[in-house]
């Protein structure tokens, strides 16, 4: 399930970028955003249909993700760009938290060892990935997305403030490791 959750998170990140572009006036992303919405819905349906999802993911957390996707995935066109960015980011953070918890649970259970041995990946790599890596990657992605928007369209005080906050988060995450 971890791989499926990471793929869902990546698709929602792309949906965030495309919806921000559309809200900025670039209609060239309409096909992509519609295709991503269908893909995200299919991923969510697949995960919801998995009988063992509740074994590794808290059902209340999962239901919160599904509910937030309904709000974010279908209501974004009425949002201000920064609000759209924040709603997508919050949803991505929720999924990243589930991935982190699920991944660490799998590592502690020992269920990963055969797969990892086949890939020659170390336990330390996965410990890093599930403890800090996912968060660091997402903070950098947020910085990139909002930074690209600010660079191409300009920014108001709220966007510059959020960009400064994300930069501070990136420094903090880096220093913590």
Distance CA 75, CA 15 (A): 13
Question: Which of 77, 76, 68 has the alpha carbon at shortest distance from 9?
Answer: 68
Structure token digits, residue 94: 């929720």
Q: What are phi and psi of 113, to 5 degrees?
A: -60, -45
Please write the tens of the pLDDT for every residue from 67-105: 999 999 998 999 888 889 889 999 998 998 888 887 766
Question: Which helix (H) or strand (E) covers residue 111, if one does?
Answer: none
Cα separation, 62 vs 41, in Å, equals: 14
> What is the pLDDT of the chain when averaged over all its residues?
81
Short-list 47, 6, 20, 5, CA closest to 142:
20
Q: How many percent of the chain have pLDDT more than 70?
A: 80
The reported pLDDT for the residue numbered 82 is 86
pLDDT digits (tens, 9 = 90+) for 115-148: 554 454 555 666 666 666 777 777 777 777 777 7
């Amino acid at each position: 399930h971890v791989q499926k959750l990471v793929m869902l998170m990546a698709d929602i990140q792309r949906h965030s970028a495309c919806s921000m572009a559309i809200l900025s006036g670039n209609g060239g992303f309409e096909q992509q955003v519609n295709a991503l919405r269908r893909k995200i819905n299919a991923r969510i349906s697949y995960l919801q249909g998995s009988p063992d999802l509740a074994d590794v993911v808290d059902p209340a957390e999962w239901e919160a993700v599904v509910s937030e996707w309904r709000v974010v995935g279908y209501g974004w066109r009425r949002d201000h760009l920064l609000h759209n960015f924040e709603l997508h980011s919050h949803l991505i953070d929720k999924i990243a938290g589930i991935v982190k918890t699920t991944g660490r649970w799998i590592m502690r259970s020992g269920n990963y060892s055969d797969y990892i041995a086949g890939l020659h990946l170390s336990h330390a790599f996965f410990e890093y990935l599930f403890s800090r890596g996912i968060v660091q990657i997402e903070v950098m992605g947020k910085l990139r997305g909002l930074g690209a928007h600010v660079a191409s369209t300009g920014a108001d005080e709220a966007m510059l403030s959020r960009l400064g906050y994300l930069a501070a988060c990136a420094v903090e995450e880096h220093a913590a490791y």
